Structure 1
C-alpha cells in the first residue's frame, strides 16, 4: 500500500474527504476512503499527530 485517506471534520460536518495514492501498487488500485482498510499502525500515526497538534 502506498496511499492515504484524509478526512477533515468540523463537528459532524465533513469539510474534506480526499484519497491519495494506491491501495495496491501492483494492481494499480486507487485508495478508496470508504473501502480501503489501513493497518492499525497507520492509524496510530494519525492519532499521534492529532494529539501533538492539540
Structure 2
C-alpha cells in the first residue's frame, strides 16, 4: 500500500468512525495476524500510523 493511500484510508475511517477508528484498525490488525495474512496486517499498520498522524 502506498503512503498516500494509507492516508486516504485513515481519513475515511476517521470520518466514518471518529475516535473509535483506531480500535477498529487494531481489530483488523489482530485478525490478519491471527490468520497469517501478514501483508494485510502490514497495510492495516500503515493505516494505523496514518490515523495517528491525523490526530497530531
TM-score above 0.5, yes or no: no
What is the TM-score of this pair, normalised by structure 1?
Answer: 0.32
Q: TM-score, normalised by structure 2?
A: 0.31
Higher RCO (CA < 8 A, seq sep 6+) = 2
Q: Which has the larger radius of gyration?
A: 1
More strand by share: 1
Give 1 or 2: higher helix fraction: 2
